[in-house]
Amino acid sequence: MSNLLANLNAEQLAAVTLPDEPALILAGAGSGKTRVLTTRIAWLIQNGHVSPAGVLAVTFTNKAAKEMQTRLAAMLPINTRGMWIGTFHGLCNRMLRAHFRDAGLPQTFAILDSQDQLSALKRLLKGLNVDDEKYPAKNLQYFINNAKEQGLRPADVEANDDYNRRFVDLYAAYDEQCQREGVVDFAELLLRCYELLRYNDAIRAHYQHRFRHILVDEFQDTNVLQYQWLKLLAGYGTGRAAAVFAVGDDDQSIYAFRGANVGNMRDFEHEFRVRQMIKLEQNYRSHGNILDSANHLISHNARRLGKNLRTDAGHGEPVRVFQGGSDGQEASWIVEEIRDQIAQGMSRSEIAILYRSNAQSRVIEHALFSAGIAYRVYGGLRFFERAEVKHALAYLQLIENPRNDAAFGRVVNFPTRGIGARSIEALQDAARQYNCSLSEAVAYVPGKAGSSLGAFIRLIDQMRAETRRMTLPEMVEYVTNTSGLIQHYRTEKEGQDRIENLQELVTAAQAFVMEEGYGLDAPAAVLPAGHEGAPALAEGDQAQQVLDPEQLPVVMTPLVAFLTHASLEAGDNQAQAGQDAVQMMTVHAAKGLEFNVVFITGLEEGLFPHENSAMEADGLEEERRLMYVAITRARERLYLSFAQSRVLHGQMRYHVRSRFFEELPESALKWLTPPQQAYGGMGGGRREKSESAWGRDWFKRPEDVAYTGTKPTGGMDTGNGYADSKRAAETGFRVGQGVFHNKFGEGKITAIEGEGANAHAQIHFKRHGTKKLALGIAKLDPID
């Protein structure tokens, strides 16, 4: 810890030691961004610029937050636990817990994850008898979250037609429902916290006074509300603003679809009068050819803040490019290359296969599986999202707060206890009529339904009574048993895994109470008295609390803290951790990771760049950034591949290779297969027999024919890898061909799907964008 600054390069050093003023750090991929962030915090503290309590550092993922905390702890002999280092949602949660009254929330509010939010909306729509064809819960969810991320309450949303007005009304009704039930969704965490700061002068003043240094990671991914929140917290415009240290990379902004606003970087630079933007351009990850490719590609984007990565490593190996006749061939080739790599001593976990969309993984998985190569697919359900775990948590939530209708609805009849749809309906009617929670409404339901429901209420009450003195792990175990969940899964054929997950939940509870410092003896439902800064929360003057930063962090009961943790941190998606396996994931999921060997697959027009991106403003640029992220994951060896045909959603599709190939430096590439076929010309192919797949005679492998050949009914006997030339013979059109349409003018066929009378072409028209037209119907003339 003696010399924090040792081994920093000049750019990093400049960033770390900037004066206490707003700063924007443009941190390229692999440029030591996290190191700069953490060293900056350590340096500020060590040199007395700020105390640990005066720092707020915010990131997007729990993983990144944890990483920051760990690294900081390694640099300074301080307790990082109490520091305000966390995710936007985590920090907002913390503030709302501390000021629950001022925020208008119950002390132990529960947090809805996206799934929970969707179910809550479905429940709402059903209750209001809304036509869910016309107003799908999914759309409403999107509408609401979008509004909240813009900082808009129902009253603030402009609706210019009846349809949108209805959405606004439903948004209002949803907020009321949440309020009644004491629950808060993810977007609400941020918006509530923003409003808390905005409308409560004392609290705002307190935090503005307290946080003198605010550090933001992945700034390019912040949304409108997050930026507003930061401005408020930093005291922007007050004349004594905190020093905001924003670190980001506009070239790696790939989350516009979920509200990220790269424009925040520009806005920040201007609004905070950033005096100098520091660029971290020295890359410590990739070899030269890989970096050249990345630089070359991204230079095709307009409106960049501007950055060029450089490396001291040599050119290294060329970037290898492979064209397959089909997705199956592409997969077989990947398997062969991976075999070679493994044979040469490469560890499987250092090999990553990236793709644009999850649907692409299946073919590759099949190939790896048949070849007996261990692999791991990222994505999918994570621990706390699993149904059985959510069920157990719902029981815990009901014990904590019987008014939580979402939890009630989830487990009132699971395991089944004779409470059918009719009973639930009667209960919901009663709840509406008396304007109360489902639990409270049970008293108003007569007859047999009423008595079964009453038994359920008694079950929950009994659980609450009997767990009163239990520790959290004991309570979790008790609940999984007494609820009948374990019993239920014993009789289910796939139940064993689920039982194991429930047992794992007990283990998770044990780990949680230890890590959070409650200890194994702490009663789950009791506020830990004497625990750092505890009791003032339950009663007492909020203002006083505000003035005493030592009373934070907020203390929750172990139970509430655990439930919060489960919502805010969904946990890993069940990794068979430890096993040396090839890593498979989407490009999005790969952001922030690095591997020795990277395959970027499915580089085809329509897939990557994805066809839907053509519909969105700046869609193509975002796809290019995605490609940039993908390329910069590789340290030593990078493979790019595409296939002429692939089965997608059960349909054979034909694609030309991605335009991104045209944006890479020829000098860095090595084509393992002739590069020109997709555009009709055959020239220019530089075969590399020695290592290329070309020499392996792919097209005669029986298992590949199934992939390559079009359906027999189509009468096409491909399987020779030249599917689209065959198509040309049949339909008169081929991918890559220029066409003229009476209405849309000149265009080029970018994909053909379906066959015979059903054949459709995706055509990119110069003046009208991409259209999908039926070849049998549209009046198309071929042009050169």
Shortest distance, position 357 Cβ to DNA, whole Å: 3
Cα–Cα distance between 441 and 450 in angstroms, integer? 10
What DSSP line would sit under 516-546, residue for residue?
TT--TTSBTTS--TTSTT-GGGTSS-HHHHH
Q: Is 28 annotated as a binding residue?
A: yes
Looking at 97-105, 351-359, 428-436, 769-777, which segment touches DNA (CB under 7 A)? Answer: 351-359
Nearer to DNA, 63 or 432 (CB): 63
Query: Residue 107 carries which DSSP code?
Result: T
Binding mask 494-513 for DNA (x = CB under 7 A): --------------------
Binding mask 143-182 for DNA (x = CB under 7 A): ----------------------------------------
Question: Could you tell me which of 730, 599, 738 has the C-alpha nearest to residue 652?
Answer: 730
- Residue from the set 586, 737, 750, 770 that interacts with DNA by CB under 7 A: 586
Shortest distance, position 711 Cβ to DNA, whole Å: 9
Looking at 169-177, 562-570, 627-635, 663-671, which segment touches DNA (CB under 7 A)? Answer: 562-570
| E runs forming strands in 469-608 | 582-586, 595-600
Cα–Cα distance between 211 and 209 in angstroms, integer? 6
Binding mask 604-623 for DNA (x = CB under 7 A): ------x-xx-xx--x----
Handedness of CA 331, 337, 340, 346 (dihedral sign): negative
Question: Could you tell me which of 134, 97, 126 has the C-alpha nearest to residue 405?
Answer: 126
Cα–Cα distance between 124 and 171 in angstroms, integer? 10
Query: Residue 778 carries which DSSP code?
Result: S
Q: Is 321 in the site for DNA (CB under 7 A)?
A: no
Handedness of CA 490, 493, 497, 498 (dihedral sign): negative
Cα–Cα distance between 554 and 720 in angstroms, integer? 67
Q: Is 524 annotated as a binding residue?
A: no
Looking at 320-328, 466-474, 642-650, 764-772, which segment touches DNA (CB under 7 A)? Answer: 642-650
Nearer to DNA, 314 or 650 (CB): 650
Looking at 151-159, 318-326, 350-358, 737-745, which segment touches DNA (CB under 7 A)? Answer: 350-358
Handedness of CA 46, 50, 53, 55 (dihedral sign): negative
- Residue from the set 116, 218, 400, 569 that interacts with DNA by CB under 7 A: 569
Nearer to DNA, 208 or 586 (CB): 586
Cα–Cα distance between 87 and 92 in angstroms, integer? 8
- Residue from the set 122, 310, 741, 771 that interacts with DNA by CB under 7 A: 122
Q: Is 448 in the site for DNA (CB under 7 A)?
A: no
> At 448, which amino acid appears?
K
Q: Is 313 annotated as a binding residue?
A: no
* Half-sphere CA count of 470, side-chain side, radius 13 A: 19
Handedness of CA 547, 548, 552, 557 (dihedral sign): negative
Q: Which residues are catalytic?
A: 33-34, 217-218, 252, 633
* Half-sphere CA count of 253, side-chain side, radius 13 A: 30
- Residue from the set 33, 40, 89, 657 that interacts with DNA by CB under 7 A: 89
* Half-sphere CA count of 294, side-chain side, radius 13 A: 31
Q: Is 34 annotated as a binding residue?
A: yes
Shortest distance, position 327 Cβ to DNA, whole Å: 12
- Residue from the set 159, 277, 359, 373 that interacts with DNA by CB under 7 A: 359
Binding mask 239-258 for DNA (x = CB under 7 A): ---------------xx-xx
Q: Is 362 in the site for DNA (CB under 7 A)?
A: yes
Q: Is 31 annotated as a binding residue?
A: yes
Shortest distance, position 496 Cβ to DNA, whole Å: 15
Cα–Cα distance between 496 and 474 in angstroms, integer? 21
Q: Is 298 in the site for DNA (CB under 7 A)?
A: no
Q: Is 27 annotated as a binding residue?
A: yes
Cα–Cα distance between 630 and 294 in angstroms, integer? 9
56 and 91 Cβ atoms separated by less than 8 Å: yes
Question: Could you tell me which of 703, 600, 748 has the C-alpha nearest to residue 328?
Answer: 703
Collapsed DSSP state (helix, strand, coil) of residue 80: coil
Looking at 35-43, 84-92, 228-236, 298-306, which segment touches DNA (CB under 7 A)? Answer: 84-92
- Residue from the set 2, 416, 435, 690 that interacts with DNA by CB under 7 A: 416
The token pair at 91 is 């920090």
Q: Where are the alpha helices (DSSP H) in 88-223?
A: 88-98, 114-127, 137-149, 162-181, 186-199, 201-210
Cα–Cα distance between 657 and 784 in angstroms, integer? 19
Cα–Cα distance between 328 and 648 in angstroms, integer? 12
Q: Is 419 in the site for DNA (CB under 7 A)?
A: yes
Handedness of CA 693, 695, 700, 701 (dihedral sign): negative
Binding mask 706-735 for DNA (x = CB under 7 A): ------------------------------
Q: Is 574 in the site for DNA (CB under 7 A)?
A: no
191 and 96 Cβ atoms separated by less than 8 Å: no
Nearer to DNA, 684 or 769 (CB): 769
**Residues of span 52-71 touching DNA by CB under 7 A:** 60-63
- Residue from the set 58, 589, 723, 735 that interacts with DNA by CB under 7 A: 589
Q: Is 570 in the site for DNA (CB under 7 A)?
A: yes
Tally Cβ neighbours within 10 Å of residue 115: 14
Binding mask 4-43 for DNA (x = CB under 7 A): ----------------------------------------
Nearer to DNA, 268 or 384 (CB): 384
The token pair at 411 is 């487990």
Binding mask 371-410 for DNA (x = CB under 7 A): --------x-------------------------------
Nearer to DNA, 18 or 367 (CB): 367
Angle, helices 495-515 vs 558-568, to 10°: value is 120
Nearer to DNA, 123 or 657 (CB): 123
Shortest distance, position 556 Cβ to DNA, whole Å: 16
Report which secondary-structure segment, H or E, holds 329.
helix 327-343
Shortest distance, position 640 Cβ to DNA, whole Å: 18
Q: Is 32 annotated as a binding residue?
A: yes
Cα dist from 511 to 392, 397, 498, whole Å: 17, 19, 20
- Residues touching DNA: how many (CB under 7 A)? 45
Binding residues for ATP: 27-34
Annotated binding site: 27-34
Residue ranges in contact with DNA by CB under 7 A: 60-63, 87, 89-90, 113-114, 122, 186, 254-255, 257-258, 356-359, 362, 379, 413, 415-421, 568-570, 585-586, 588-589, 610, 612-613, 615-616, 619, 647, 649-650
